[in-house]
Structure 1
Amino acid sequence: MLRILSYVVLVLLLGIGFAWLAERPGSLSIIWQGQLIEMSLMVAAAILVSIVALVMFVWWFARTVWTSPHSVRRYFRARTRDRGYQALSTGLIAAGAGNAALARKMSARARGLLRADQEPLILVLDAQAAVIEGRFDEARRLFQQMSEDPETRELGLRGLHVEATRLGAHEAARQYAETAAESAPYLPWAAKSTLEHRCRAGHWDDAIRLLDQQRVAHVLKRAEADRLKAVLLTAKAEDRLESDPSVARDNAVQALKLARDLVPAAIVAAKGYLREDNLRKATSVLEQVWKLSPHPDIAHTYLRARSGDSAVDRLKKAERLEHLRPNNIESLLIVAEAALDAQDFAKARSKAEAAARMESSERVYLLFADIEEAETNDQGRIRYWMGEALKAGRDPAWVADGYVSERWLPLSPITGKLDAFEWKMPFDQVEGAIEDGTISRGEQALSALPPLQTKPQPPAAPENRETHPFIETTTPAAAPAPVRKPAQETPKVQETAPTAVPEPFFGRPPDDPGVRDPAGATDDSKTRLRLF
């Protein structure tokens, strides 16, 4: 574009010059070798321009003839280079598709058309073809050769790391990753692998330093980097809680500044404050995190922060948590459990019912069973709630990559991923419980609750009554007086007053084969009930 513009400007200037000369006529006289040459000024200018153009043409022609061998060589070299790059491109595509034969063929063609020392992609194609064909020793040799070249150093270290990981040489893979991470912290694979290795070894300070380098190199976003650093600081605080509580507390508080809803950091910080007998700050930390993310571990730590508290005191603390986060199932459950410990069965039952209507889970039904056992000791109702617990969904737990842990861990023991644990329902119950645990399910469980068991008064037994008598109960309004059977027969006692059949548990007759269903009896006049 600039060349065309320059030509246009040059022609324009020449036109302006000739027009200026045409408006100012004159003559030009030249005496050369005793001869007088006269001409007009316009002719003289035209001759001058023609001479300049002729000189330029002669110079271009001479230069073209002089440099023609080099131009011919350059033309054929460019043509060969283009064919080589075309073969290299085809070979890389074939290697990515897993076509080892075509990749090897294109590699040989590219090596014949291009110089391997000037084009490092040929080594990459050879290494990929060797990996596809299973020639891993040759692939490692090529990757090692690439790692010695500054231009392909990172690519060679990447290939060596992948091969070491495939062979199970984790120590060698760690060394390759750390070498790459130290020289190029902006490489995500190297930084991630090195970070995981340092976390497995418990080198939290080195892991935090590497994470800061990644943040400066803009490998991670600010929010992600803050979250991972908070996790590392929490893991470091947990390790130092017993040996140095003050340092552990400071690390946990710093972690909470980066991730305000990190439950393990709040628990470690609270325990660190409690080691210093600073109950006020410990409870303040727990309350702040409870507002953001209610968790049973926070509630248990909060209620037992002071060892001398009675059950009533813990109930008041539980109600304080419910006030901070109302209409939450964790708040309701913690108040119900504290009320059960304080023998306030009415409040425990009301809070548990509210939690069941909000979300039915295994923990809710087990709490109902505990309340029944402590208050009424009604075995029928206890068994009912235990059965509901078996059918309900599992309680949330710390889960990472399908692994369920009783406590929070900084990284997954399965994949080594940092910050992998989440507080959620285990994977085997994601699709739902045996019976759908919805609000309607909780309402159904409460409505189907069997009434309290009433023990009927046993009739007066005869003097010669055995341990397991057979009692026959008649349903008509009037019945003859009880008759003593002979001694050789099984003693029977017949009541005169009509007695209602005891209402069975769970709304239907028990599964005991010795109990007959009154609704399914063929004899409508009598119902026999064996009591054992």
Structure 2
Amino acid sequence: MWRALAFLALLAVAAFGAVWIADRPGSVTIVWNGYEVATSLAIALVGVGVAAIVLGLVWAVVRGLITLPDTLVNGSRERRRAKGFTALSRGMVAVGSGDPLAARRHAGDAERLLGAEPLTLLLKAQAAQISGDRQAAESAFQRMVDDPETRVLGLRGLFVEARRREDDVSARAYAAEAARLAPSVTWANDAVLEAQCADGDWGGALEIVERRGSLGLIEKAEARRQRAVLLTAMAQVREAGEPEAATERALQAVKLAPDLVPAACIAGRLLARRGDLKKAAKIVEAAWKANPHPDLAKVYLNLRTGDSVRDRLTRAETLAKLSSWTPEARLALAQAAFDARDFAKAREAIQPLLDDGPTVRTCLMMARIEEAEHGAGSGRAREWLARAAHAPRDPVWIADGVASPTWEPISPVSGRIDAFVWQAPPNLLTGQEPFESAAPEAESAALAAPRP
């Protein structure tokens, strides 16, 4: 529409100009080299226009003849590039579909037509990878490393190849170099972080996590959690030899993740050792409300050394009220009552757990109560020991399918940070045969437990 309006406007201007010239007749006289040419103004203007058109056509022909070689060369180059990108596209499709022969053929065509383009080198490397030619793949990735524009991409390829041949030293070096060149590259940060965690370099791992959080590579909540886990690992290492440094790290971890059980346990123990019982109790209580855990109960009941068993029983009752009488709270209260030789209270605390599939710990606790009340080797004690052999298992620390009696900052399988969770292991589908052999051990352990 706008083009039509513009055309009409130009046509109107031209018509107005023609009328204006027609209303104002005049003549044009040209004298040159003894010749005199006289004509009207309108004819002179038409002649000038025709001359301009002729000159334009002549110039176009001359310029076309002058630029013809370059035009032919550029056309050939463009056709060559078009064929190269077609081969590149088909090669990528072949790689994606897992056709090594087609991928290598198209990669060769693309390299011949396009030269050492980044995508050409990448296609060549991927074609070599799916063909199983590791040497050719590494050679292509090395050529990419030599080019500043594709250096990080080449380092990633070399990193993957080093991992495949289980060369951890080279893989770490490639990842570290990539992280240095491009701090925001996720795979390099993950690889360096994994290596530092595997080496126990918790301080270096903490720096990586903080950098990832500041760059927005991970969510803020995840960064806070990972920082808390790494600070807890640092406190765990220093707890025995450097209590002050361990306390500082544990308190930082608790501030970041108040519900992190290991951090609260370490902070509670260390604060209790230096006499800050009120703060220690506050930290443990906050973690207990979020995640009732036997380690927290153990720390809380033993905050003050030298307390009587009655004092510990009172604190166990406090824990039970804080967590609204969860199963873990009842077990802790039953243990405290048992230690205080208040067997009736221990039985009362654990009784609600007996109606809905008592776990191994619950059955063993009942066996100890029966033994204390009715004597060693009583029928009731042995009955509970037999039930313990087939009872559902209690929660343990589990990461990537691996169960552990203690918490660790990383998974022993994948190296993932904060992988361990406190949960009950899955029951066996084919029965409880593996626990049959554990029954005599559980029975002897329960019967051999010292009486308070």
Q: Indicate whether the TM-score tops 0.5.
A: yes
Cα gap change, 1:35 to 1:182, in 2 (>3 Å): closer
Q: Once structures 1 and 2 are overlaid, which stretch shifts more, 272-281 or 372-381?
A: 372-381
Letter in 1 for 2:406: R
Secondary structure in 2 matching 1:27: coil
Any conservation in 1 of the 2:297–2:332 contact (CA below 8 Å)?
yes
Cα gap change, 1:326 to 1:432, in 2 (>3 Å): farther
Residue in structure 1 matching 2:366, options 348, 368, 383:
368
Q: CA deviation at 1:49?
A: 5.0
Distance 1:198 1:110 in 2: 40
Distance 1:344 1:149 in 2: 77
Structure 1 residues 90-114: Cα deviation after superposition (integer angstroms, max 9, x where no partner): 2222233332222221122222222
Any conservation in 1 of the 2:357–2:391 contact (CA below 8 Å)?
no
Q: Partner of 1:68 in structure 2?
A: 68
Cα gap change, 1:237 to 1:142, in 2 (>3 Å): same
Q: Partner of 1:89 in structure 2?
A: 89
Any conservation in 1 of the 2:357–2:392 contact (CA below 8 Å)?
no
1:174-185 map, 5 Å: 174-185=172-183
1:20-419 map, 5 Å: 20-21=16-17, 24=20, 25-33=23-31, 34-39=36-41, 50-116=50-116, 119-357=117-355, 360-377=358-375, 379-419=378-418
Any conservation in 2 of the 1:393–1:434 contact (CA below 8 Å)?
no
Q: CA deviation at 1:290?
A: 0.8
Structure 1 residues 310-346: Cα deviation after superposition (integer angstroms, max 9, x where no partner): 1111110011111111131111111111111112222
Distance 1:115 1:415 in 2: 40
Secondary structure in 1 matching 2:149: coil
Distance 2:131 2:385 in 1: 59
Q: CA deviation at 1:62?
A: 3.5
Distance 1:53 1:369 in 2: 113
Any conservation in 1 of the 2:309–2:340 contact (CA below 8 Å)?
yes
Secondary structure in 1 matching 2:148: coil
How many residues are treated as equivalent by the alignment? 426
Distance 1:312 1:199 in 2: 43
Secondary structure in 2 matching 1:399: strand
Cα gap change, 1:39 to 1:98, in 2 (>3 Å): closer
Any conservation in 2 of the 1:147–1:156 contact (CA below 8 Å)?
yes
Cα gap change, 1:126 to 1:18, in 2 (>3 Å): closer
RMSD between superposed Cα atoms in Å: 2.4
Letter in 2 for 1:245: P
Q: Partner of 1:14 in structure 2?
A: 10
Any conservation in 2 of the 1:392–1:433 contact (CA below 8 Å)?
no
Letter in 1 for 2:391: A
Any conservation in 2 of the 1:84–1:109 contact (CA below 8 Å)?
yes
Structure 1 residues 462-497: Cα deviation after superposition (integer angstroms, max 9, x where no partner): xxxxxxxxxxxxxxxxxxxxxxxxxxxxxxxxxxxx
Secondary structure in 1 matching 2:403: strand
Q: CA deviation at 1:201?
A: 1.4
Distance 1:396 1:101 in 2: 52
Are positions 1:423 and 2:422 aligned together? Answer: yes
Letter in 2 for 1:409: E
Q: Partner of 1:449 in structure 2?
A: none
Q: CA deviation at 1:351?
A: 1.4
5+ residue gaps in structure 1? 436-532
Taking every aligned residue pair, what percent have the same amino acid on both sides? 40
1:456-475 map, 5 Å: none
Cα gap change, 1:300 to 1:433, in 2 (>3 Å): farther
5+ residue gaps in structure 2? 434-452
Cα gap change, 1:291 to 1:431, in 2 (>3 Å): farther
Cα gap change, 1:433 to 1:287, in 2 (>3 Å): farther
Tell me which protein shows more helix as a share of its residues: 2
Distance 1:20 1:357 in 2: 105
Cα gap change, 1:283 to 1:191, in 2 (>3 Å): same
Cα gap change, 1:430 to 1:11, in 2 (>3 Å): farther
Q: CA deviation at 1:397?
A: 0.5
Structure 2 length as normaliser, TM-score? 0.87
Q: Partner of 1:513 in structure 2?
A: none
1:435-474 map, 5 Å: none
Letter in 2 for 1:389: A
Q: Partner of 1:485 in structure 2?
A: none
Secondary structure in 1 matching 2:355: helix
Structure 1 length as normaliser, TM-score? 0.75
Distance 1:227 1:248 in 2: 18
Distance 1:419 1:352 in 2: 32
Any conservation in 2 of the 1:393–1:433 contact (CA below 8 Å)?
no
Q: Once structures 1 and 2 are overlaid, which stretch shifts more, 73-82 or 234-243?
A: 73-82
Cα gap change, 1:430 to 1:276, in 2 (>3 Å): farther
Query: Rg bigger for which structure?
Result: 1
Q: Once structures 1 and 2 are overlaid, which stretch shifts more, 324-333 or 370-379?
A: 370-379
Distance 2:308 2:141 in 1: 68
Structure 1 residues 229-262: Cα deviation after superposition (integer angstroms, max 9, x where no partner): 1111110111111222222122112212222211
